[in-house]
Structure 1
Amino acid sequence: MQVTGKITRGSLMTLEAYSKYRKENKAAIMAHRQLRSVHLGEHINVQFESETSIRYQIQEMLRLEKIFEAEAIDQEIEAYAPLVPEGSNWKATMLIEYPDVNERKRELARLIGVEDHLFVEVEGHARVYAIADEDMDRENDEKTSAVHFVRFELDAAMCAAVKAGANVKLGCDHTNYPAHVSIPAESLASLASDLR
């Protein structure tokens, strides 16, 4: 899977080519996704996206839905390409995970607004709170969604600090889900490669 800096119809593989590629490279793609997955407490998983992970997602959707028409391919690109980081930010899928259905329902009601309390903190810099769900609102008066799309905008000094090896915390200061974790060094090295 070629990383080009911009996902276009022409830069995607045909269904046949992707089928072959997938067999040979699925383990590597899964390892990449795992490396960029950071658990915040017991029930929140933040999957930091990259061009590689989003290309994989688009190719998987095309494969599963057997999409080969230009307009439908463009719709998949439109849906997912905004999740590719742009050099001064990190973009992520935030998953709220409760295996038990009743517990999940109860907790999603208690966690309304949690996505707006998610932050990253580069060592020596102020917290940067997530800009969440820019495509659509994912909560109502009764509950929040189990999936949110978030973006963290970093200034030039923060980007430089991350690239120079500064530690970064991922956290949440929601009343009902206070948590923070240092992003592991291997994951942070991958995230640093997203920054210019």
Structure 2
Amino acid sequence: MDPLSIVDIVNIAEYEIERPSYRDQIIKFKKNRRIQIGELVTLVFENRETIRFQIQEMMRAERIVLEDRIQEEIDTYNQLLPKLNSFSATLLIEVTDQAKMREILDSFIGIDHGNTTSLKIGDSVVYGEYEGGRSKEDRVSAVHYVTFSLTDQQVSQFISGEEPISFEIDHFKYKAETVINEMVRESLSQDLL
């Protein structure tokens, strides 16, 4: 997937004008790129459109107008784009009860180590690789970045949709699996073409 460049980004004045319709488009687009795994974990799969939206929103929120600062944001967010034959996702641990937030997050310590997160394509398993620096021995972030690197055969299997496809969390305190539907498979397949 080609990285974003400065020409893909509009200034914040132009963005304010296009934002309402663009935001609606992105919300609809993300619907088929969002997978709930159990009650507390969601994977949101990133691509050029989702990353462009994040950059534009960051520029808007932080009032970023200088070209070198915009380029810094682009460089940072481009790291979240999937590479060849891979998926890149933001994993969210969603806690709505503020009083239980620390307790619930602490129960996820270790989720970003070992083979806790996987993509299953029929009998084939692809383990997620987490970006480092998001947790400590006694703390875990509610947001993680995870990639799934597929072989050529797994890419073909995923695109064909002939085998069941699921995402699983197998952590000692949280176990859940979700089989994806056809609309999600089709949307994610575009990242592999």
| TM-score normalised over the length of structure 2 | 0.92
Which of 152, 173, 176 in structure 2 is aligned with 1:176? 173
CA contact (8 A) 1:97 1:104 kept: no
Gaps of 5+ in 1: none
Cα distance between partner residues in 2 of 1:19 and 1:102: 36
- Structure 2 regions of 5+ residues with no counterpart? none
Write out aligned runs for 1:103-182 (5 A): 103-116=100-113, 117-125=116-124, 127-133=125-131, 136-165=132-161, 166-182=163-179
CA offset digits 1:119-139 (Å, max 9, x no partner):
1111232x1111102xx4111
1:83 to 60, 73, 80: 80
Separation in 2, partners of 1:129, 1:113: 15
The share of aligned pairs that are identical, in percent, is 28
Residues in 2 aligned to 1:163 and 1:172: alpha-carbon distance in whole angstroms: 22
Distance 2:75 2:30 in 1: 21
Q: Which residue pairs with 1:30 in the alignment?
A: 27
1:13 aligns with 2:10: yes
Matched letter for residue 96 of structure 2: P
What RMSD, in angstroms, separates the aligned Cα atoms of the two structures?
1.5
Residues 159, 185 of structure 2: 8 Å contact kept: no
Q: Pick the aligned partner of 2:96 from 74, 96, 99.
A: 99
How high is the TM-score relative to the length of structure 1? 0.91
For the residues of structure 1 that align with 2:105 and 2:82, how far apart are their CA atoms? Answer: 27
Partners of 1:97 and 1:146 within 8 A in 2: yes
Partner SS for 1:181: strand
Aligned residues: 190
